[in-house]
Amino acid sequence: MFMNTTDRDRAHGHTAHPGDVGRRVAHRREQLGLTREQVAVRARMDVSYLEYLESQPAAVDLETITALAGALGTSVRHLLGGGLDSPPGQATPALRPVVEELQPWECWAKMGPGGVGRVALSTPDGPEVLPVNYRVLDGTVLYRTAPQSGAAAAVGKQVAFEVDQLDEAFGVGWSVLVTGPAHQVTEADAIEWFGKHADPQPWVGGRRDIWVRIRPGKITGRVIRTAGTTPSDDTS
């Protein structure tokens, strides 16, 4: 089946520049610290074609983009940039979906690389859910925020922290939910160590001097996959 990037992006409600796929492939490869040769071997393609794809606008067939997504540990949707301005979940469900509970160790494995999660907490004005950049360290969740921010209001409270990943192309994904108390980290040596080994690097920029640590009292998760595959086959 051949579907060029413009058609595929339009199907996801997003029109991409013809070179966007190559730029996303190159960016993801560099994030992982992989060479073109390594990615080409993983995707079972010629390295000269991968070089061409990363440097020139080109139409890409579905088989190739799927192979690249697998080689780069990401989704077809991410490489195509489809639906970047729309809420996820607008694609059709997977054929023969299977929902399974994740074991705690599987939940930690999903969350382990860090990224963006959501902190849910109660406030005088009602519940709030706030996105934060996070890292996992020693079985806890860390994030940085500003003193007067909504995310700083989590300190001293029982909170919920949720992370998920959805693959629109295949209608699969997973979610993990952590519940437990949030505390501010104030020890100078701990903050220095976190800064070297587990700095969440907030996307919003600016000074984010409040370090918040969530100690899980409970962690649960679910994965939606297609029948006949394992959870790792559908989404990492």
Task: Give me the long-range contacts of 26-31 (CB less than 8 A, separation at least 24).
Answer: 26/54, 28/72, 28/74, 28/78, 28/79, 29/54, 29/72
d(CA 177, CA 218) in angstroms, rounded, equals: 8
For residue 232, pLDDT over 60 is answered with: no
pLDDT band at 115 (very low <50, low <70, confident <90, very high): confident
- Whether 80 and 16 have beta carbons less than 8 Å apart is answered as yes
Region 110-133: mean pLDDT is 91
Spell out the domain ranges in the chain. Answer: 5-80, 97-234
For residue 2, pLDDT over 90 is answered with: no
Neighbours of 85 (CB within 10 A): 7
Which fold does the domain 5-80 belong to in CATH? 434 Repressor (Amino-terminal Domain) (1.10.260)
CATH superfamily label, 97-234:
Electron Transport, Fmn-binding Protein; Chain A (2.30.110.10)
At 171-214, the pLDDT tens digits run 788 999 999 999 998 888 777 777 777 777 777 777 788 889 99
- Whether 221 and 152 have beta carbons less than 8 Å apart is answered as no
Q: Can you give the three-state secondary structure of 8-76, one letter per residue?
A: HHHHCCCCCCCCHHHHHHHHHHHHHCCCHHHHHHHHCCCHHHHHHHHHCCCCCCHHHHHHHHHHCCCCH
Name the most confidently modeled range: 25-29, 30-34, 44-48: 44-48
pLDDT band at 134 (very low <50, low <70, confident <90, very high): very high
Asked if 5-80 and 97-234 have one fold, the answer is no
